[in-house]
Amino acid sequence: MKRAFFRFVVLTIMACGLGGCGYYAQSLKGHVEIMSARQSVAKLIDDPATPEPLRARMQAASAIRQFASDKLDLPDNRSYRSYVDIDRNFVTLAVFAAPEFSLAPRTWCFPVFGCVPYRGYFSQEAAAQQAATLKRQGFDVYISGITAYSTLGWSSDPLLSTMFRQGETWLASVVFHELAHQRVYVPGDSAFNEAFAVAVEVTGVQKWLRAAGNAEGLRRYEAERRRDEEFRALLAKTRGELAGIYGGPGSTEQKRAAKAAAVDRLRQRYRQMRDSRWDGYRGYDAWIDAPINNAKLAATSVYSDRVPAFLRLFDLCSQDYPRFYAAVRRLGALDKSRRDEALRSARTCG
């Protein structure tokens, strides 16, 4: 479920500087530390002193990066051509928040990049402090560890050691996703941006696996996608139930009890589905067993609700990436109030 990627607000941070502006200062410090530790992927491959496991990872990453530009028409720039071992499990922590009786996420707004439904922190202590502040204000809060972050091309984003933890297919998905944001990004519309990037990620990974003749890898990837779609459908059902509870009659205590019951039903449905359909696959157990609240449910919806519409648009564009990107840019130029309906009702590539 790690579909959140911290959009790093470089221009705002530069304008703010190191003096004051505490949030931006910690972001700038973390960013500078990563950027100063970059090593060239090409040099790591060529250096005889590079350990063989690291060389193999760099060779795979280099091939994936070139495939992105050659076959997916993604930017051919310096992003993901360097590497940093960050020696921790996550590069940043994203803090999501939503009201106790609403699934609308709290947003934070920044120059250039617009409003986003999370705040990212390099510091675990700072993330915890922000979460505590939001909780005192009455928000549901969710903190998610993030394996990659992006400057949307404002600087040369490096590959991070966290991006290699789940194999080459995961690495390809992250690289394709992040580079898609460099191709099209609409300030202030995270749901549009993330669903578009997921569509590029999914179609790109499929194309990459087919090009490699990796039929078994493609089979596993499609099975993972089906599970993910089924899991997200369960979450959508629960969000619908909760929306009815929050918008309906009842006292605060009655709504709290109904909210808890809806979460319990989600857990029961998940376990029934897992045990009857997934042949013992338990990859979502940790997510389900941890606390579930509005912030956590809202975070998942940002990255999934519009993906089917973008995949359909990709097919309408004859699976031609330049045409697809042009169509997405045209949609992105529309007023936000018209954008979603135009995406849903599209009958041609545009």
DSSP collapsed to 3 states, 189-241: CHHHHHHHHHHHHHHHHHHHHHHCCCHHHHHHHHHHHHHHHHHHHHHHHHHHH
pLDDT band at 1 (very low <50, low <70, confident <90, very high): very low
Q: Say whether 70 sits in a helix, a strand or coil.
A: helix
Structural domain spans, the chain: 6-166
- Region 50-67: mean pLDDT is 97
For 264-318, how does the pLDDT look when each residue is reduced to its tens digit (9 = 90+)? 999 999 999 999 999 889 999 999 999 999 999 999 887 777 899 999 999 999 9
**Both structure tokens of 21:** 């502006």
**Both structure tokens of 67:** 């495939």
pLDDT of residue 346: 94
Cα-Cα-Cα-Cα dihedral sign, residues 11, 13, 15, 18: negative
pLDDT of residue 87: 83
Asked if the model's pLDDT at residue 142 lies above 70, the reply is: yes
pLDDT of residue 151: 80
Asked if the model's pLDDT at residue 22 lies above 80, the reply is: no
DSSP, res 162: G
| Whole-number Å distance between alpha carbons of 18 and 27 | 10
pLDDT of residue 53: 95
| Whole-number Å distance between alpha carbons of 341 and 321 | 22
Asked if residues 301 and 240 have their Cβ atoms less than 8 Å apart, the reply is: no
Q: Say whether 32 sits in a helix, a strand or coil.
A: helix
pLDDT band at 14 (very low <50, low <70, confident <90, very high): very low
Asked if residues 194 and 302 have their Cβ atoms less than 8 Å apart, the reply is: yes
pLDDT of residue 85: 94
Amino acid in position 238: T
The better pLDDT of the pair 265, 6 is held by 265
pLDDT of residue 199: 97
pLDDT band at 21 (very low <50, low <70, confident <90, very high): low
The better pLDDT of the pair 251, 151 is held by 251
- Region 87-96: mean pLDDT is 89
Asked if residues 175 and 164 have their Cβ atoms less than 8 Å apart, the reply is: no
pLDDT of residue 56: 97
pLDDT band at 10 (very low <50, low <70, confident <90, very high): very low
218: CB partners within 8 A, 6+ apart = 206, 209, 210
The structure tokens 């996608």 sit at 225
pLDDT band at 117 (very low <50, low <70, confident <90, very high): confident
- Region 231-245: mean pLDDT is 96
pTM of structure: 0.90
Q: Share the mean pLDDT of the chain.
A: 90
Region for 213 from its dihedrals, namely left if φ exceeds 0, alpha if ψ lies in -120 to 50, beta otherwise: left
- Region 221-246: mean pLDDT is 95
Asked if residues 124 and 93 have their Cβ atoms less than 8 Å apart, the reply is: yes
pLDDT of residue 18: 40
pLDDT of residue 31: 80
